[in-house]
Amino acid sequence: MIISIASGKGGTGKTLIATSLALSLKNSHKVQLLDCDVEEPNDYIFMKPEITFQETVSIPVPEVDKEKCDHCGKCAGICVYKAIAVWGTQVMIFPELCHGCGACSYICPRKAIKEIPRPVGVVESGHAQGINFVHGKLNVGEAMSPPVIKKVKSHINLKEITIIDSPPGTSCPVITAVKNSDFCLLVTEPTPFGLNDLALAVETVKELKIPCGVIINRNTEGERKVEQYCQKENIPVLLTIPLDTEIARLYSRGITLVSGMPQWKQSFAALFEKIQEIVSERNSYSKR
């Protein structure tokens, strides 16, 4: 089963949930934790993994053989990203604009274009506290994170419980991270920003047809707008974590919630059970 942890708004507690959920399940299940927030990966700070494998993530970009090229301009004509241009007898390549679709090398009538890998990030894997750990890091200055996220997700082992820590937002990096999940946990906080961005995240996971549930983090008494929203939209609130300076302090020191306050393990185990129920109910419904 693949469970992704997402949120529209940043800093709501995705990493806190992902790491503690993984740790709470490790005694009963084989668990893997995939940190797909490749722009700002933080799970390793809490999990302190032993990295045993590292691979470079590259995008294939064109290289033109000047001997063969007759400047016909077909490559520039097919490239929608304007990553290759032909002026007279000059061919210019802008690797940072290239998405690596391969159209230019395919279309070239003289087979003058070959593709060379351009590194954009790294993926590292290893073990942490009995959990299989994988994370990706986008190189600083690079724009496109989806290729790195896809490479992290290539480590998914369907025999294990896969927990995906997603980046914030609602656009391509998030979609790449949460796509094909069996369930998406949306973490929010009971503030106007939290609610606004939760609604955007809900729309996104609905578009992807992924069932979701909400976790309210830093909850304070009296702020009920997020709960009311969830009720109205018929989205279950699966866990509530109070605003607590002790929890904030643990987080600031890179300590997971369940290691610092082991009493939370039960809540996370119960959270997982609820997710399992929802997913199996949905699966049996869709089989009917």
Partner 1 sequence: MKEIVILSGKGGTGKTSIAGSFAALAKRKVMVDCDVDAADLHLILKPSAQKEQEFWSGQAAVIDKEKCIQCDVCRGLCRFEAIKDYQVDPVSCEGCGFCSHVCPVGAITMQECLAGHWFVSSTRYGYLVHARLGTAQENSGKLVATVRKEARHIAEQDKLDIIISDGPPGIGCPVISSLSGANLAVLVTEPTLSGIHDLERILGVCRHFDVPALVCINKHDINEDNTRQIEGFCRDEKIELAARIPFDNVVTEAMIKEVPVVEFSVGKVAKEIKTLWQKVTEKLENQNSFNQ
Which residue's CB is nearer to partner 1, number 193 or number 229? Answer: 193
Binding mask 186-205 for partner 1 (x = CB under 8 A): -----xxx--xx--xx-xx-
Which residues 60-119 are close enough to bind partner 1 by CB under 8 A? 78, 80-81, 99-103, 106-107
- Region binding partner 1 by CB under 8 A among candidate stretches 123-131, 164-172, 231-239, 264-272: 164-172
Which residue's CB is nearer to partner 1, number 99 or number 127? Answer: 99
The verdict on 9 binding partner 1 (CB under 8 A) reads yes
Binding mask 29-58 for partner 1 (x = CB under 8 A): --------x-xx-x--x-------------
Which residues 206-245 are close enough to bind partner 1 by CB under 8 A? 207-208, 223, 245
The verdict on 270 binding partner 1 (CB under 8 A) reads no
Number of chain positions touching partner 1 (CB under 8 A): 57
The verdict on 248 binding partner 1 (CB under 8 A) reads yes
Residue 5 near residue 21, CB atoms below 8 Å: yes
Shortest Cβ 142–partner 1 spacing (Å):
7
Q: Exposed (0-12), middle (13-18) or buried (19+): which is 159, by Cβ within 10 Å?
A: exposed
The verdict on 138 binding partner 1 (CB under 8 A) reads yes
What does the binding site for partner 1 look like in residue numbers (CB under 8 A)? Answer: 8-12, 15, 37, 39-40, 42, 45, 78, 80-81, 99-103, 106-107, 138, 140-145, 167-175, 179, 191-193, 196-197, 200-201, 203-204, 207-208, 223, 245, 248-249, 251-254
